[in-house]
Chains A and B, each alone.
Chain A
Amino acid sequence: MSQSKEELKAKMIADPSSLATLGGGIALAGGLLGSSWGIGLAASAGIATISQDHRQLKNVIILAAIPMSQTLYGLIILIITLRVVAPKIVAMPDPVGSGLAVVALGVMAAVAFATSAAYKGSVLASGIAFLPKTRGRILTNCLMLAVFVELIAVLGVVFTILALSMLGLM
């Protein structure tokens, strides 16, 4: 009797598809958090560089905009969760458990996006700091090293989709 009451309460507050929405929301929140953190780091270093050598504005703008990509990865996960996972979750044998699994995968994606964007910001800030010394030639090498960190965010998307497929939610 008490169990059915608890089930009713759980149903009233959160149903499986809203749990899946929470998973997608956490993933996008991680992406936005990391992007703003990374751009903040790179742009703060950029202002110090521009005050030294104002001709580097173009390179600073290119490098400071790069951590924005994690937001788009977060959006991809949110759209996949809302469009593909949430309609499918109701037909699962254990919908509430599957909903919690989607939240867990959202946390995994969020950590990947947040940390990779923040650390990409620090790689780019380091590149921006060397722009005046190398007269802008560090740009290409800095982009190459930033791509390594970018790869972790892409792996975050790929592994989230992989895990969703393995759980039969995609």
Chain B
Amino acid sequence: MTIGAESLAAVGGAVALAGGLGGAAIGMAIAGYKGVATLAEQPQYLRSVIILAAIPMSCGLYGLIVLIIILTVVVPKIAAMPDPGGSGFAVVACSVIAACAFAFSGISLGSVCGSGISSLIKTRGQILTNALVLAVFVELIAVLGVVFTILALTMLGLM
């Protein structure tokens, strides 16, 4: 039994979303347990803690974007090809880019936001803006993951 190119492409989308969800879960957990420690001392920082702890969730959304692109654009295009060859495997290869980017940027976002949450009490909440600025750097890597996956799919003629 052989695996069709379309189902391999769907596996690729799933790998990208799995990477995003894994990274988002680990990152939110890292930021969340530091948030619990901060709230135990000073409950009035609840708003800032919730803002910072929710940021790693974005990696899950990026994974969803890649899955939707693959299922709605790439899979019909592969199905229309007379000889798909290794196109499905190439989609899996492109998804590895996205999955690695989302998983590790989610984890790193969690550690940056967690560090910000730990500094909330010392700076009386003023660290929030600076923590968001530095979190955007890590976020950028996840965005680059989406962009480069789309770039690679375009260069392969699959989009």
Q: Hey, which bits of chain A sit against chain B, CB under 8 A?
A: 8-9, 11-19, 21-22, 24-26, 28-30, 32-33, 35-37, 39-41, 43-48, 50-51, 54, 57, 60-61, 64-65, 68, 71, 75, 78-79, 82-83
Contact = CB atoms under 8 A, between A and B. Distances in A.
Which residue among A36, A46, A54 has the maximum number of chain B CB atoms within 10 Å of its CB? A36
A29 B155 CA distance: 17
Contacts of A19: 86, 89
Given A35-B141, A39-B141, A82-B152, A15 B107 contact: no
B134 A32 contact: no
Contact of A18 (B93, B109, B141, B144): B93
Contacts of B141: 32, 35-36, 39, 68, 71
Contacts of B135: 43
Contacts of A40: 105, 107-109, 111-112, 138
Q: Is the interface of A mostly helix, strand, loop or mixed?
A: helix
Contacts of B107: 36-37, 40
Contacts of A22: 89-90, 92-93, 96
A32 B112 CA distance: 17
Given A22-B93, A32-B104, A40-B108, A11 B85 contact: yes
Interface residues of B, number: 51
B97 A18 contact: no
Nearest to B4: A12
B97 A25 contact: yes
A46 B144 contact: no
B133 interface: yes
A13 B8 contact: yes
Contacts of A60: 134
A83 B142 contact: no
B96 A18 contact: no
Contacts of B92: 22
B13 interface: no
Contact of A64 (B96, B104, B114, B137): B137
B75 interface: no
A78 B148 contact: yes
A48 B119 contact: yes
